[in-house]
Structure 1
Amino acid sequence: MACEGVLGPETSDEGLMLAFQAGDARAFEALVRRHRMPVFNFILRFTGHPARAEDVLQETWLKVVRSARDYKPRAKFTTWLYTIARNLCVDSARKESYRQASSLEAPSGVGAGAEEGRSLGETLPDTGEGPERGAYNARVRPLLTRALASLPEEQREVFVLREYSGIAFKDIAEVTGVSENTVKSRMRYALEGLRRRLTELGVDGDLADDGKTVAG
């Protein structure tokens, strides 16, 4: 069985989940360490609200715990995990009747990494790049956040899953419940929409030609 043996950094996500299913709490802790920030960033960009993103993140991991008994490694663990997170994001948006575009322009409030008076764009993680590029990205990142908010939800989630979380198109298709061709089409429209919106916001150069320049 995949959960046998000593757990280590080389243990696959699926192996860790099977180990947790068998009762090893350390395996769950390892999964959280690996995926907490990428999943949080996905939820944050989906909801546009740090406090709500933190709540949905907690609900996601609780759902993982509650569903552990029924877990079967038919697909990648990350596909299963992001499907849970996405569904909870959709449920949260429906319950709260939340308007993302207006929230992105407002102070971010209380949440992971948030500080009073800072916009959502300013709370996004730094990319760890050089000073000049880092300064450019710090200036442009809030504009990218605004541009992302202007996209239809189905295009935005594909872009975020692909460029921020590094999920393959075929896995995004499983997460979103549409065909891979539809996912690629939505990605194409998302890039076109981002390019157009960023140009309208006065961004030129590489970023206007490629919306993923600061998607790190």
Structure 2
Amino acid sequence: MNSLTDNSLMLQVKAGQVDKMGLLFERYHRPLLAFFYHSNGNATASEDLVQNVFYRMLKYRHTFTGDGEFRTWMYHLARNVLADAAKKSKPSAHHQDIADWADKIAGGTTADASLQQAQEVAQLHRAMARLSAEQREILVMSRFQELKYEQIAQLLDTTVGAVKVRAHRALCQLKDIYLLMENGSQVRKL
């Protein structure tokens, strides 16, 4: 079904066959939506950012060489779009409930999900929001987007070892924040 690789599709787009961008959009709009949503917690803004990434892919298609992996190039553009958006607006204190957009991000149905799971996911999202932008970005790329450490190292212009250390520290920090929040909510319930 996906006989054309991402690199070959993007090279065709670069050569002027911009209609091939539709296939790349079908493959990557959900992962990008998830990347942005996990980074900023705003579904509407995330959709806009996805559109910006695909716009930039068209605008900067001449920079794609095909030597590296398409996903790495795409996430490089996505990180720039996210950074530009952060410069333009202040962080929003209001986050939409993750359960509202879980179906859209995952591509499945959440009708059967229990209230407990939804609360845990929402709490995890709130805990992620308390991480630094760098820690959140590492976790989103490594855990949610399933990028390899080598790809992340290339994106961040660092070593694989440094990425592993950052990911481990971010995960430990997330765990600590989550547990503090969980314990705090249990104390309030009593």
Give the deviation of 1:129 after TM superposition: 8.8
Amino acid at match of 2:15: A
Higher helix share: 2
> 1:61–1:131: structure 2 CA closer, same or farther, 3 Å change rule?
closer
- Equivalent-residue separation in structure 1 for 2:110 and 2:165 (angstroms): 33
Residue in 2 that maps onto 1:140: 120
Which structure is richer in relative contact order (CA contacts within 8 A, separation 6 or more)? 2
**Residue-pair matches, total:** 179
* Deviations 1:39-80 (CA, angstroms, capped at 9, x unpaired): 111012212222222222111111000111232012110000
What is the TM-score when the length of structure 1 is the normalising length? 0.75
- 1:16 aligned to which of 6, 9, 14: 9
Contact 1:155 1:190 in 2 (8 A): yes
What is the TM-score when the length of structure 2 is the normalising length? 0.85
* Aligned-pair Cα RMSD in Å: 2.1
State the identity as a percent: 25
4+ residue runs over 6 A deviation? 129-132
- Equivalent-residue separation in structure 2 for 1:63 and 1:31 (angstroms): 13
Q: What pairs with 1:39-50 in structure 2 (closer than 5 Å)?
A: 39-50=32-43
- Equivalent-residue separation in structure 2 for 1:103 and 1:188 (angstroms): 28
Residue in 2 that maps onto 1:123: 100
- SS of the aligned residue for 2:141 comes to helix
Tell me whether 1:103 sits opposite 2:94 in the alignment.
yes
Give the deviation of 1:150 after TM superposition: 0.9
Residue in 2 that maps onto 1:90: 83
Structure 1 regions of 5+ residues with no counterpart?
1-7, 109-118, 204-216
Residue in 1 that maps onto 2:188: none
Q: What pairs with 1:167-186 in structure 2 (closer than 5 Å)?
A: 167-186=147-166
